[in-house]
Structure 1
Amino acid sequence: MGAGVGAVVGADGISRCPWGAGDPVNTAYHDSEWGMRVSGEAAHLERLTLEAFQSGLSWLTILNKRPHFRSAFADFDADAVAAFDETDVERLMADPGIVRNRRKVDAAIANARATVALRERGGLESFIWSFRPEPATAPRTTDDVPTTSPESVALAKALKKAGFAHVGPTTMYALMEAIGLVDDHLEGCHRRGCATTLP
């Protein structure tokens, strides 16, 4: 994907964001999930965890490993992952089905524990959504899509204060895009506007 690329019309005649117009796994994710609101604690913890594991890697790598991530991390049940011990860490570090990075594995467990603790403050879902910005104009090209925002900086800071790890502003902006806090589908993309308007 080059700089400043607009929506791309695929062989099927459908206009998409450039990153969603190539590999069929990316296309399926772009067309059915990216930018749409998810519901529930586990769904939010999954997206947060996967975005953290993606750091420094291609998103396609994460998508291809996603079913195994779900299995390895107990379907992102926060209570179950929060109870992981050193034996579980060793199991995960020996598992080729996920990204074997000790810092990221440790962060995933810490984040599950922090998620459990957040229930006293309304829970992870409402916490994340409290940083939703006002809707913005549709980006025309990839150059118009930011990598951070004031809200993602604030969310990252607040999550770190709440005990979360590996949640920098860029990673949190990617999370915000993925779950519909911001709609960064390009102008002309058939999925533009797919994010729910519900609070």
Structure 2
Amino acid sequence: MPHRCPWPGEDPLYIAYHDTDWGVPEYDDRALYEKLVLDGFQAGLSWITILRKRENFREAFDRFDPQAIARYGEADIDRLLANSGIVRSRAKIEAAIQGARVWCDIQDSPRGFSQRLWDFVDGAPATHHYASMAEVPAQTPTSQAMSKELKSLGFKFCGPVIVYAFMQAVGMVNDHLTGCFRHEEVARLNTPASA
């Protein structure tokens, strides 16, 4: 049995997420929007709660197509608020819609969404060497700067702690513990977007 980070516990879904998804560098604009929205929905909840509902979210939110979500109106908000398969928070649903509209504006700019976010880490993941969970920060100056920019653009539910969790999830930082079998595997994936 491989040694892994302790946070997935014994939950098979959480273990699969840790072993295949968490920390893998993600450069796709749409996928980054999805992960940012889901991290926003996590605010005040545990990530496993969101993970268990992820497929429901994808179905309810048009597979997280920002261009489709940007056109959502009051009827869509009502539909989502009636969907027991997702987190039914009007503020978070409205934030996802607002974020989709911001995403569309950013995509029309020269840098695009992915590049704009990856520029905060100079386009390449940072591999950290933490031996225990106690060493892993909840936020960093980089997550604070990214949070500030996202908020200035109109995103919500993107404070520096949420943004750091997002950065970990999308592989901007490799925070698998050094004793975890995924630490070296993910480090080998850490190539710049331009490579």
> Aligned partners of 1:136, 1:181: CA distance in 2, in Å?
9
Identify the residue that residue 54 of structure 1 maps to in structure 2. 42
How far is 1:156 from its partner?
0.4
Match status 1:182 vs 2:173: yes
Identify the residue that residue 70 of structure 2 maps to in structure 1. 82
User: May I ask how many residue pairs the two structures share in their alignment?
Assistant: 187
TM-score (norm 2): 0.92
Structure 1 residues without counterparts, runs of 5 or longer? 1-12
Counterparts of 1:22-171 in structure 2, within 5 Å, are: 22-119=10-107, 120-132=109-121, 135-171=126-162
Structure 2 residues without counterparts, runs of 5 or longer? none
SS of 1:131's equivalent?
helix
> Aligned partners of 1:58, 1:21: CA distance in 2, in Å?
13
Contact 1:41 1:125 in 2 (8 A): yes
Contact 2:2 2:181 in 1 (8 A): yes
> Aligned partners of 2:175, 2:88: CA distance in 1, in Å?
30
Identify the residue that residue 8 of structure 2 maps to in structure 1. 20
Contact 1:42 1:75 in 2 (8 A): no
Runs of 4+ in structure 1 displaced over 2 angstroms? Answer: 133-137
Percentage of identical aligned residues:
43
How far is 1:20 from its partner?
2.3
Which structure's residues are more often helix, by fraction? 2
How far is 1:96 from its partner?
0.4
Contact 1:35 1:184 in 2 (8 A): yes
> Aligned partners of 2:82, 2:153: CA distance in 1, in Å?
29
